[in-house]
Structure 1
Amino acid sequence: MELRVEQLIAGYPGHRAVAGVDLTVPSGEVVAIVGPNGCGKSTLLRSIARLHQPESGRILAGDADIWQLRQRQAAHRIALLPQSPLAPEAVTVAGLVRYGRHPHQGLFRQWSREDERAVGEALRATGVAGLADRRLDQLSGGQRQRCWLAMVLAQETPVVLLDEPTSALDIGHAVEVLDLVREVAVAGRTVVMVLHDLAGAARYADTVVAMKDGRIVAQGAPRDVVDSALVRELYGIEADILQAPDDGSPVVVPAARHAAAAVAAR
């Protein structure tokens, strides 16, 4: 399902966080939104997820404006994994993933074989089926993040939103999560994720969207937009941009300020 954001304006009292953003995400692609702290990327994601009411503009999932839908209808189209999700105390992995089926429940529709199938597929897709009976609080950070992703996948929405899915993970677990994100897109879902890690965005996203001061300052394929000028504009630092030997994706190598000063002094 294609996701479109049209002239979106959103903010808070006295502060405009998103200033007229246009964005199109084709079905089955991964878009990574990057930029410095306070640039508006999380507010944009929260607006798409119906957690922050925009001032104006439209957000369309397929042919429907999500802010014109009922909450349950929107939850059939878009699922969000927030940056710091909270789980009920002592919940098991299977119990957590079952929460993803909540939008499919109702007064006349209780737990079904279809729900059980969706939960089982999500557990297997994220590699945590063997942990189904374990308590979430007994797992490592990487395992927990995969369990949260399983919950989102169990919701079976065509659009998946991820807010900093690799935060607080070591490089090994971060790679596992981003590999899983790619698999989700290959399976046909549309993925929009906010990342602080520009290198990870360049490696795993089909499109990088760079934001600054509430506006998009660059967007396109990573090898077309990730360069030293963009790093300088976003973060105020110098960086060398190398190419990954296997696929040519950009590799960002920040220049240490003390090293640059030593070279200048020669």
Structure 2
Amino acid sequence: MTAPMTTTPATDPSDAVSPADPAGRPLGLEVSGLRAGYPGRPVLHDIDVAVPAGHVAAIVGPNGCGKSTLLRTVARLHRPDSGTVHADGADIWKMTQRQAARRIALLPQSPKAPEAVTVAGLVRYGRHPHQGLLRQWSRDDERAVADALDATGTTALAGERLDRLSGGQRQRCWLAMVLAQHTPVVLLDEPTSALDLGHVVDVLELVREVAAAGRTVVMVLHDLAAAARYADTVIAVKDGRILAQGPPRDIVDEALVKDLYQVDADILRAPSDGAPVVVPKGRP
């Protein structure tokens, strides 16, 4: 899930010390001055993001604003024009491909699996970055696969073919593969796309559990209300720039919704926890 590598550091980046945010929490992901685009078409402009370990960040914004490009650049699938990306304290562009794949895992939109692959076979792919000429399949790999299946509630599906499962089941299996990769940073590009409400809740609650176990999760979401409920930090992107970022209760308001989507909305507060609830009213 990572792009080809160009340089190799003199020292193993796993020796790096993870920096901390102002509150003293170690940073799982730090993006500084990131610019990226395509020939003749700049997309991202001076992106700065810092997400502590154990937190969930949700990237939101209108179609075409650069959300997926940002995620792909962080995942080394797209080389930036400038700026840095640090995962768990190490610069991913100064790593080998295999080293980077041990730091960051990406679940892209509409992932494709080999025909007739079983759930267990799919999840085993997540262990590929940990294999090599001198390290073949081990008990640690088997344990990582079993733990990922258990965490996603897919153990009973291990022997089933992926293409015969429901959409919600398949998404949990893909998440199991990403968890088996056992990286400190997990990137999810629209993980709830095309799921019904029940499965959306299942996936987002699982995301919270992943973060509670100490990993950093950054996901692209179209549903601002879901982002406001399940993310610790919302990163609002417009025209390739960060319009606002911070805790949902601090930044999700009528002005932000109007600026992002050109929609008037009421922002209510959920009775249970005060999370912002977005109620669209129409175009201004």
TM over 0.5: yes
- Distance in 2 (alpha carbons) for counterparts of 1:133 and 1:25: 36
1:70-81 → structure 2 map (5 Å cutoff): 70-81=96-107
Alignment partners' CA distance in 1, 2:201 and 2:142: 29
Q: CA deviation at 1:255?
A: 0.7
Amino acid at match of 1:85: P
Equivalent residue for 2:70? 44
Distance in structure 1 (CA, Å) of the matches to 2:160 and 2:60: 34
Match runs of 1:133-144 below 5 Å: 133-144=159-170
1:99 aligns with 2:125: yes
Deviation sequence 1:168-216 (CA, Å, 0-9, x none): 1111101100000000000000000011110110000000000001100
Greater fraction of residues in helix: 1
Specify the SS of the correspondent of 1:6.
strand
Mapping 1:14-93, distance limit 5 Å: 14-93=40-119
**Which of 247, 252, 263 is the matching residue for 2:278?**
252
Moved segments of 4+, more than 2 Å: none
Post-superposition CA distance 1:24-51 (Å, at most 9, x none): 0001000000000111111110000000
On the 8 A contact 2:88/2:185 being kept in 1, the answer is no
Deviations 1:67-105 (A, max 9, x none): 111100000100000011000000000000000000001
Identity value in percent: 74
1:191 counterpart = 2:217: yes
Q: Which amino acid in structure 2 is aligned with residue 96 of structure 1?
A: L
Q: How far, CA to CA, are the matches of 2:198 and 2:177 in structure 1?
A: 21
Q: For 1:18 and 1:31, how far apart are their aligned partners in 2? A: 18
Any gaps of 5 or more consecutive residues in structure 1?
261-266
Q: How many residue pairs were aligned?
A: 258
The one-letter code of the counterpart of 1:180 is: L
Aligned equivalents of 1:20, 1:191: Cα separation in 2? 21
The runs of 5 or more residues in structure 2 that have no matched partner are 1-26
Question: RMSD between aligned alpha carbons?
Answer: 0.9
Separation (CA, whole Å) in 2 of partners of 1:230 and 1:63? 32
1:13 aligned onto 2:44: no
Letter of the aligned partner of 2:277 in structure 1?
V
Q: Which residue in the other structure is 1:263 paired with?
A: none
- Paired residue secondary structure (1:255): strand
Deviates more, 1:121-130 or 1:55-64: 55-64
1:161 maps to 187
Q: TM-score, normalised by structure 1?
A: 0.96
